[in-house]
Structure 1
C-alpha cells in the first residue's frame, strides 16, 4: 500500500533466501537469465501459413533463448507493408514471407540476406528442395529465400457430381471444355456453381490464374521489345473468356473472391470445379474441415494453344538486411523449412495438410504418400511442367509466368487487376478495362527506360 513502511528483512530471512536460490543450482539461475535476455524473432507471414503458429512451441523448446512473434497478414497487405518496412529501414521484421517475384528483385536491391553460408552449416541440405522452386528464389547464383511450400496450379473437381451428371473430366482439359462442363454442372438452385475462380483485385490474387489463361491463349503483357500487348486480340480473347466464365457459372460476389473464399466454397460442396493452387488440395482432402474429402479429382491446368499451363509460386522465408536478430532469424527459418518439419507437422496436425512442393524428401515419407495419394502425383506433375523461361507462345524479356519480372509490376498488376475485377463485377466492359490497362503498361515501360 502507498505510504506503508516495509519491515527490513532479518539476517536469518536473507540467509534463507540465499540458501533457497543456491538450492536451485545453475539451472535456476539460467532460467532467470533467459527470461531477461530472451531474443524475439518477429515473422511477417501470409495468412495461409498460420499452422506454423501451432507448432512453434517445439522450436521454442529447442531454442529457449528465442521467442517467435508472428504477424499474419492477407496477401495484399503483406505485399504492401513488408517492402515499405525494408525500404525505410524500420526493421520491424526479422523474417518475411516472399515469393519468386520478390526474391530476385529485392536481392538485386540489397534488401535480403544471402542464405548460402547459413545453409551450409549442419544438415540443412539446400539441394533437397525441388529444383524449379529453389532456383526461382535465387539471384546471381545466391539463395535469398527458402520455400515453406511450393505450388503450381491445377483443376480440382467433384467426381461425385461428374458421375451423377454422366460427365467425364478429360485427362488434359482445354479451357473451352472446362467452360462446357461448368455450364452443364452449374446448378445454383441447389447450391452448386459450375466453377470457382479468383476475381478479387490484387496482382497475387486475380492475376495468378488469369495470367496462365492469357499465356495459353497466346496473349502476353509485353512483347520482346517491351511494347504493351494487353489489347492484342489474343489477350482480349483470354480475358473475355475468363470474365464470361466466372460471371456466368462462377460463385456469387466473384469480384471479391480470392483463394480463401473459393476454398470455403469448395469445402462446403458449393462448387463443381475450382482452378487454383496445388497447395490447397490438402485442405480439401482433410475430413475434419472439408465436406468433399475423398470426392475430388485433379486434372492439369487447362490449356488452349500451349502444351501445358499453370503457375509457379512458393511462399518462402527470407531474412531482410534490416533484421535486428539475423542469427536467431536463421535458426527459425532453418527449423520451419527443415527436413524434419514435415514430420512434425504430419504427426501434430495431420499428414494430408503437410505443406507441399518444398523438399523432395517429404515425398519419400510413407505417411505422407499414403495421406496424399489422391493428389500427390498431379501436384508433382504440375510442378514438373513449369517453364519459367518460355511459358507461352512468345519470347518474353523476363523470367516468370504469373507476373512480369520487373519492380513496377506490383503496382501495375494491382491497377490492372482492379480494372478487370470491375469488369467481373459488371461495372465496365473487358475492352474498357484492357484499354486502361494498356495505358498503365505503356507508362511503366516508358518511365522505367525498358525500351531504347
Structure 2
C-alpha cells in the first residue's frame, strides 16, 4: 500500500491500508468478455498503479504466447476497483478469476469463503519457490485456518527519508535508529534550512489508509492500541493519546503547509520540490525520489521508522493476487499468479523497464540481483530490513485481538479509521483539540467493542 487516495465511505468489507497505492494516471479498463467462464482465457481485475500497467503491457508477449492463456484485464482507480472486487467476490459471481487484494482484505475474504486457497498450487509448483517470499509477507497472506490465500506482487514497509545535504549543511547526523523524540528535535533544527523548507512532512489527509496509517505506527510504538486483547477501545488511554498529541504537535509546529489535506502524493511533491527536509512514509516512495529526472536523486538518506517503546515500528503492506473461489479457471488463474509474482517476472521488468521499476519488497532473491542492487543501492537494504522487521501480529507492547500494524484487520475498520482520521485532521487544522478529537473517536470505537466483546 503505498497510500490511499481520498476515499468514499466504505462498504461492508472494502478497502485497505496501509500505507496504500501511489496516485497514478488514470487508465480506464473494461471487462473484455466472459473469458473467465471457461476456455483458454481468464479475467483479471486490478488497480491502476504504474507497476500493474507495466504488467499489462508484458502479459501478451511473455505469458500468453508461452502458455496459450489470454488475460483480459480490467484496470481501475483504487476506490473503484475495491468496490468492484468486493461486489464480485462477495456474490461469488465468478466474473473475475483473479484480483488485486491487500494483506488487509485477504484474511477477511478468506474467512468469508470467497477465496481459493493457494497452498496446494504452491506445493505442486516448486519452481515458484514460496520460501523465497519474505516471511512477513507469507504470514500476512495466511488466514486463521493456516492456509495461504494470496501471493504478493510487491510489498512495502515505512521508513524515514531525509535530505543528506541539508543535514550536512546544518552539521546534523541522523541516528542509525532514530527515536521520535530525536526526529522532533531534528525537525526543529532543519525547519527553514532553505527558503520555504519545513522540517518534516507527515500525512494529515483524512482516510484510514492516509493519515491513520503513519499515525497508527506512532501509536503502536508509544505503547497505544486501538483495542486491547478483550476488544476494549483504548483511544483515550495514555499511549494512544500521547502518540496523537505528539504527531499533531509535530506536524503543526514543523510540518508542511496545508498538512490537514496532505497525503502521500502531497508529501512526495513537497519532498521532490525541496519543501521539506524529512518525510516519514512508505518505502516505495524511495524509487520515485531516486528516479531518473528527480530533482532530489542522490540527495536522500534513509533511516528506519522512528520508535519510542518498541524495537521497530514500520508498517507492512502488499498488493497481492487473490483467486476467487468461484473461478471457473482456477488452474489457469494460478499459472498467471505464479508468473506475475515470480523471479522470472522481476527480471523481465528489470530488463524491459529498468531495475528501479522491479516490483520488489516480496522476494529475498530480489536483493541479491546485482543490477537491482546497483540501481536501488541507497534504499534496497533499508526497505528489506523494514519489511523483515515488521510484526503484523505483535506490533506494539500489548496483545492485540486482531493482526495489523497500520490497521486492525476487521471489516469495520475501514469506516472507523476513516471517521477517526477526520477528527484527527480537524485537530491538525486547529479546529478542535486532540482531547476532543479522541473523545469523539473513543465513542466510535466503543461501538466496535459492543460487537466483538466476548468473542
Question: Which of 92, 97, 110 in structure 2 is aligned with 1:94?
Answer: 97
Task: Looking at secondary structure, tell me which structure has more helix per residue.
Answer: 1
Does residue 155 (structure 1) correspond to residue 150 (structure 2)? The answer is no
Does residue 275 (structure 1) correspond to residue 280 (structure 2)? The answer is yes
Q: 1:171 maps to which residue?
A: 176
| Kept in 1: contact 2:43–2:71 (CA 8 A) | yes
Q: 1:359 maps to which residue?
A: 363
Q: 1:73 maps to which residue?
A: 77
Q: Give structure 2 stretches of 5+ with no counterpart.
A: 1-38
In 2, distance between residues paired with 1:354 and 1:291? 21
Q: From the superposition, tell whether residues 92 and 218 of structure 1 become closer, same or farther in structure 2 (CA, over 3 Å).
A: same
Question: Which of 43, 46, 59 in structure 2 is aligned with 1:44?
Answer: 46
Aligned positions of 1:21-36 closer than 5 A: none
Q: From the superposition, tell whether residues 48 and 153 of structure 1 become closer, same or farther in structure 2 (CA, over 3 Å).
A: farther
Question: Which of 32, 53, 58 in structure 2 is aligned with 1:55?
Answer: 58
Question: Which of 394, 407, 411 in structure 1 is aligned with 2:411?
Answer: 407
In 2, distance between residues paired with 1:407 and 1:153? 23
| Kept in 2: contact 1:286–1:353 (CA 8 A) | no
- Following TM superposition, the consecutive aligned residue runs of length 4 or more in structure 1 with deviations greater than 6 angstroms are none
Partner SS, residue 127 of structure 1: helix
**What do residues 409-450 of structure 1 show as CA deviations (whole Å, max 9, x unaligned)?**
22221221222123223333222221111111111120x242
Quote the offset at 1:91 in angstroms: 4.3
Partner SS, residue 138 of structure 1: coil
Quote the offset at 1:137 in angstroms: 0.2
Decide which moves more: 308-317 or 39-48: 39-48
In 2, distance between residues paired with 1:321 and 1:410? 24
Question: Which of 192, 211, 215 in structure 2 is aligned with 1:210?
Answer: 215
- TM-score, reference length from structure 2: 0.84
In 2, distance between residues paired with 1:72 and 1:247? 35
| Kept in 1: contact 2:134–2:388 (CA 8 A) | no
Q: From the superposition, tell whether residues 326 and 252 of structure 1 become closer, same or farther in structure 2 (CA, over 3 Å).
A: farther
Aligned positions of 1:116-195 closer than 5 A: 116-122=119-125, 123-139=127-143, 140-187=145-192, 190-195=195-200
Quote the offset at 1:120 in angstroms: 3.2
Structure index of larger Rg: 1
Quote the offset at 1:207 in angstroms: 1.6
Quote the offset at 1:249 in angstroms: 2.2
Does residue 104 (structure 1) correspond to residue 107 (structure 2)? The answer is yes
Q: From the superposition, tell whether residues 299 and 322 of structure 1 become closer, same or farther in structure 2 (CA, over 3 Å).
A: same
| Kept in 2: contact 1:41–1:67 (CA 8 A) | yes
In 2, distance between residues paired with 1:336 and 1:121? 17
Partner SS, residue 340 of structure 1: helix
Decide which moves more: 172-181 or 258-267: 258-267
In 1, distance between residues paired with 2:95 and 2:149? 19
Quote the offset at 1:156 in angstroms: 0.8
**What do residues 386-410 of structure 1 show as CA deviations (whole Å, max 9, x unaligned)?**
2233221222222222211222222
In 2, distance between residues paired with 1:291 and 1:282? 13
Q: 1:3 maps to which residue?
A: none
> RMSD of the TM alignment (CA)?
2.2
Q: Give structure 1 stretches of 5+ with no counterpart.
A: 1-36
Question: Which of 383, 386, 393 in structure 1 is aligned with 2:387?
Answer: 383
Partner SS, residue 150 of structure 1: strand
Q: From the superposition, tell whether residues 434 and 48 of structure 1 become closer, same or farther in structure 2 (CA, over 3 Å).
A: farther
| Kept in 1: contact 2:75–2:81 (CA 8 A) | no
Q: From the superposition, tell whether residues 91 and 252 of structure 1 become closer, same or farther in structure 2 (CA, over 3 Å).
A: farther
In 1, distance between residues paired with 2:81 and 2:429? 25
Does residue 427 (structure 1) correspond to residue 437 (structure 2)? The answer is no
Question: Which of 257, 268, 271 in structure 2 is aligned with 1:266?
Answer: 271
| Kept in 2: contact 1:133–1:314 (CA 8 A) | yes
Q: 1:21 maps to which residue?
A: none
Does residue 284 (structure 1) correspond to residue 289 (structure 2)? The answer is yes
| Kept in 2: contact 1:279–1:355 (CA 8 A) | no
